[in-house]
Amino acid sequence: MELIHNAKKALNRLKIRFDDVAIKMILKDSVMVKIWNNQISVTQSWKTIESRIYLAKNKRILELSLSLERPEDIVKVCDEMSKYVNVMKESEIYAPLPEPMTYKPLKDLTDARIHDYMDNPLPLVEGLISSALDNGAQRVAGTLELSIERKALVTSKGFEGEEEGSEVMCYLRAFKGDVSGHWAFGSRRVNKESIEYVGRKAAEIATLSKGKVSVKPGKYDVILSPLVVGNLLNDVAMMASGLYIMMGFSMFMKFKIGDVIASDIVSLYDVPRNIELARSTSFDDEGIETYDKPIIERGRFTNVLHNVKTSSKLGGKTTGNAGWITPLPWNIELKPGNYSEEELIREVRRGLLITNNWYTRLQNYVEGQFSTVSKDAVFYIENGEIKGYTERIRIADTFVNLLRNVRAMGKTQYLIRWWEVRIPSKVPYLLAANVNITKPYA
Amino acid sequence: MVLSEDLVQRALDEALSLGASYAEVRYQRDEVSEVALRNGNVIGFGKNISEGVGIRVIVDGALGFASTNILTIDEIRGTVEKAINRARALAKLMKEPISFSEERVGRASYNVIPKKDLSELSIEDRITLGVEIHKSIINTVKEVKVAVTAFFIRDHTQEKLIINSDGAYIKSYIPRLSLTLNFVLAHPQKGTLQRYVSYGASGGSELIKEWKPEEEIVNEVKNLERVLLKGKEPPKDEIDVVVGPEVVGLIVHESAGHPMEADRILGREAAQAGESFVKPEMIGKYRIGSELVTIVEDPTIPGSYGYYLYDDEGVPARPRYLYYKGIINEPLHNRHTGKIFGVGSNGAARAMDYKSEPIIRMSNTYFKPGNMEFDELIEDIKLGVYIKSFMEWNIDDIRWNQRYVGLEAYIIRDGEVREDEPVRNPVLEITTQGFYSRVTGVDKNLRFYPATCGKGEPAQGVPVWIGGPNVRVSRIRLGVRV
């Protein structure tokens, strides 16, 4: 399909009536296999085309997302929208779209094997299930998703760009008795080994237990698995968005660039140029070339994620993270340390290994007060040894406490994406001290 | 509807001719408009139109779903083939072939007709409302500052046509309106306090007058300023706690609604939204709470945010009693789980949009009110805490271990709510049985709140109401937010 051709055709008609126009068309073809009780619950397939449109006139901003492809249909809806321009007020964040810039296209964003597996995912699904069952799991549930996405972007300033990429997301939860283990993988590239690793690792966690122990609420040293690290840092990275800061949904409201907000071994990056990760892209929605950048560098708050609007409002330059209205992280990476996973466990005198979590919610974004519940196995560690698995517990602390108390980082980074890690993440295990743990009293 | 009904029917015929033992075609169009303001200034106006068809089939005992928004004959035919071929290719992995319960499916058309059309609430009116609410907040605070306000007003119209191979024909149109406000109060010594509050219902522009958001928010800001400036830790001993309708609504949604979704009970969502502490053998027998605990799930409440009369499998909607007088009673079923449990569907299948498979969802979940006045509920409490609103909450994936952190809360002393003794961030962290078995009083003041419930993969957010009256729970030890 001629995405860019259709986008340009619509653009040419709309730019007569608006000061700024940007059109992003996305064609996505995907298949998802869901697994429960060692079998398939449903196989889902999607083919969608979406047109996202940004319009501005006299500093009034409109943003549209339409299930439309034909230029004349898009223009018709936009024409209807133009009546709102007269009754809207100037946007507080308006800034003109940027002048077009050249960008270095990322290569190898598409893995042809994903295309092949989309028509026949059976070998991957069989491998995923059997790798867990063969390693001691009694039952499994999970998801395998494969997709190919093509996007075209044109702006009234003259930017034109087109890009295609593939994606795999795979996660599996393995059960043995009362205990479950969970692992996940997300990338632009797929092979059978990486899928089978997910099953093996989930089973390994589910079968690691040495009997049940009960823990009391209080402060513990905790080792967080890459799934937990990914989940919590997704929230931290989102809060670095300039618009989130402006709207009161960010702990970074309280901080200035350069403030120490984490231990000096914490370096968290937004990495749109890492082609291993699924949201890697050469250009953002305003046509700005993307680049990798720290959000936190050696413990210091380093960058707000900006588009031209938030940067003009808050100061600084765009960081290539548009979203026309909301800048967002593309992919995140937490830089690794020197520890093997066994060495991290050996560092702990009295603590917990939390292998997975879910339901992270905040009492107050500005203070970064959050809690999150363990989802799969939590192991109690004493004097460097795992003593058994515990009941479900909760981390209830603040993000700043947690980040400032990071003591050690694993040396292996994992590519994680799953239901609770929506931003593709390349993250290691980490060890943090004095983390507040709670559980129900009755 | 841009798609002809003839094309929808042809897709169904095509699926059956290709070997599906069951087929269902759903056309769905969702149109959402939203205005966003910050500190009374406009950020922008957004519109989202999502429109397409979702096709679900059972082939060789395997379930397949495929969707497209490219609404040509060829593309729809290709989508049908994809649903069938991909389900068939994986059917060899099925150990328990999928089939649906026999149901008397509907042939009906229904619309929610607002008293005043959504279009009567102009963009100017929406902006003015956001500006006025911001001004009211600024003018209400005395000693604290307002760090930020964010205001969103959105309307959503949903149009569906569902036909299936069992003869269902359901056509519906539901308009909804919602309003959301976030604000942060700040004080140099006391820190910050954040509130996120929503209104939402099905209907039209008349809802704004019914909600009176400006009036309510002014009162709330006054109270929250007092909480920020004077709030103390809750008592450390076991006390009686009275939980207000907003918090009760959330509790019943999380710890009665979700665990009573039959697909969770069977493990279908194990890797995503989780499973349930409820086991099939507990249904109709297991006591989870006191005699005062009856939790109702009802899609048919007129004007509700989660309103529907037929579910997305064509089954008529009706009220379900999840917990009845403290006993685990009736799970939410679709036609798949209804077949496995041998009880049939009770009409709980919903899909967020055309791209989503219908799965078991809540609609409007509430704690059945009692007969007491609020004063009667608290009259014999010597020392307690009244928790009126919340911010942070979560629950484990089997819906047992849960936590709610209060925002507006007060001491109850000698049968009176002491507004001059606010409580800061009281933590109610308790098990499901721990909570419901401690219920010792329920008043008559039922109120509903809107929410967007998330479940499924890809995640589907559907509009629901959560609600309840004021509920007294005894022998509670509250925690303190670190």
Claim to verify: residue B191 and residue B92 sit in the same structural domain:
no
Q: Indicate if the pLDDT at residue A69 is higher than 90.
A: no
Q: Indicate if the pLDDT at residue A210 is higher than 80.
A: no
Is residue B167 in a domain? no
- Bridging pattern class, strands B62-68 and A39-57: parallel
Flag if A48 and B272 touch (Cβ within 8 Å): no
**In angstroms, what separates the C-alpha of A86 from chain B's closest C-alpha?**
10
Q: Indicate if the pLDDT at residue A106 is higher than 80.
A: yes
**In angstroms, what separates the C-alpha of A93 from chain B's closest C-alpha?**
6
Residue B12 host element (H or E): helix B5-17
Domain that holds residue B296: 239-480
Claim to verify: residue B274 and residue B293 sit in the same structural domain:
yes
Q: What is the pLDDT of residue A209?
A: 80
Alpha-carbon distance of B5 to A429, in angstroms, equals 54
Is residue B40 in a domain? no
First to last CA, chain B: 53
Query: Is the CB of B86 inside 8 Å of chain A's CB atoms?
Result: yes
**Chain B residues closer than 8 Å to A367 by CB:** 191-192
**In angstroms, what separates the C-alpha of A214 from chain B's closest C-alpha?**
15
pLDDT tens track for A389-406: 999 999 999 999 999 999
Alpha helix segments (H runs only) across B204-274: 207-211, 213-230, 245-252, 262-266
What CATH number does residue B56 fall under? Answer: 3.30.2290.10
Claim to verify: residue B185 and residue B289 sit in the same structural domain:
no
Claim to verify: residue B281 and residue B185 sit in the same structural domain:
no
Is residue B162 in a domain? no
Q: What's the mean per-residue pLDDT of chain A?
A: 97
Residue B248 and residue B290 in contact, taking contact as beta carbons nearer than 8 Å: no
Q: Indicate if the pLDDT at residue A82 is higher than 90.
A: no
Is residue B170 in a domain? no
**Chain B residues closer than 8 Å to A76 by CB:** none
Flag if A325 and B122 touch (Cβ within 8 Å): no
Q: How far is CA A387 from the centre of its chain?
A: 33
Surface-to-core class of residue A214, CB atoms within 10 Å of its CB (0-12 exposed, 13-18 middle, 19+ buried): exposed
For chain A, list the domains and their CATH numbers.
3-206 (3.30.2290.10), 218-438 (no CATH)
Residue A171 and residue A418 in contact, taking contact as beta carbons nearer than 8 Å: yes
- Residue from A294, A292, A286 nearest A312 by CA: A286
Query: Which parts of chain B have pLDDT scores under 50?
Result: none
Q: Which of residues 295-354 of B touch A (CB under 8 A)?
A: none
Query: Is the CB of B461 inside 8 Å of chain A's CB atoms?
Result: no
| Domains identified in chain B, total number | 3
Query: Is the CB of A53 inside 8 Å of chain B's CB atoms?
Result: no
Flag if B392 and A370 touch (Cβ within 8 Å): yes
Tell me which of B80, B110, B140 is where a domain ends: B110
Claim to verify: residue B275 and residue B391 sit in the same structural domain:
yes
Q: What is the pLDDT of residue A68?
A: 87
Alpha-carbon distance of A71 to A15, in angstroms, equals 13
Flag if A49 and B271 touch (Cβ within 8 Å): no
Q: Indicate if the pLDDT at residue A145 is higher than 70.
A: yes
Claim to verify: residue B350 and residue B266 sit in the same structural domain:
yes
Q: What is the pLDDT of residue A128?
A: 98
Q: What is the pLDDT of residue A85?
A: 87
**Chain A residues closer than 8 Å to B401 by CB:** 373, 391-392, 394, 439-440
Q: Which of residues 199-258 of B touch A (CB under 8 A)?
A: none
Query: Is the CB of A340 inside 8 Å of chain B's CB atoms?
Result: no
Alpha-carbon distance of B436 to B259, in angstroms, equals 14
- The DSSP secondary structure of A77-124, one letter per residue, reads HHHHHHHHHHHS---TT--PPPPP-----------HHHHHHHH--HHH
Q: Indicate if the pLDDT at residue A1 is higher than 60.
A: no
Q: What is the DSSP letter of B253?
A: I
Claim to verify: residue B381 and residue B308 sit in the same structural domain:
yes
Claim to verify: residue B410 and residue B399 sit in the same structural domain:
yes
Claim to verify: residue B284 and residue B196 sit in the same structural domain:
no
Residue B350 and residue B453 in contact, taking contact as beta carbons nearer than 8 Å: no
Q: Which of A375, A397, A438 sits opposite B479 (nearest CB)?
A: A438
Quick one: average pLDDT of A429-441? Answer: 97
Query: Is the CB of A186 inside 8 Å of chain B's CB atoms?
Result: no
**In angstroms, what separates the C-alpha of A41 from chain B's closest C-alpha?**
7
Claim to verify: residue B92 and residue B141 sit in the same structural domain:
no
| Candidates A3, A39, A72, A219, partner chain B, best to mutate (most B CBs within 10 A) | A39
Burial A85-116 (b: 16+ CB within 10 A, else e): beebbebbbbbebbebeebeebeebbbebbee
Q: Tell me how many residue pairs between chain A and chain B have CB atoms under 8 A apart.
A: 281
First to last CA, chain A: 59
How many Cα neighbours within 13 Å face the side chain of B3? 28
Predicted model pTM:
0.97
Alpha-carbon distance of B424 to B191, in angstroms, equals 12
Quick one: average pLDDT of A135-156? Answer: 98
Query: Is the CB of A58 inside 8 Å of chain B's CB atoms?
Result: no
**Chain A residues closer than 8 Å to B402 by CB:** 440
Flag if A67 and B401 touch (Cβ within 8 Å): no
- Residue from A58, A68, A139, A132 nearest A91 by CA: A58
Flag if A44 and B69 touch (Cβ within 8 Å): no
| Candidates A40, A57, A145, partner chain B, best to mutate (most B CBs within 10 A) | A40
Claim to verify: residue B313 and residue B407 sit in the same structural domain:
yes
Alpha-carbon distance of B334 to B265, in angstroms, equals 13
Q: Which of residues 268-287 of A touch B (CB under 8 A)?
A: none
Q: What is the pLDDT of residue A86?
A: 83
Residue A191's CB: how many other CB atoms inside 10 A? 14
Contacts of A54 (CB under 8 A, 6+ apart): A20, A21, A22, A23, A61, A62, A63, A64, A97, A285, A324
Is residue B119 in a domain? yes
Claim to verify: residue B397 and residue B313 sit in the same structural domain:
yes
Tell me which of B72, B94, B110 is where a domain ends: B110
**Chain B residues closer than 8 Å to A307 by CB:** none
Residue B334 and residue B263 in contact, taking contact as beta carbons nearer than 8 Å: yes
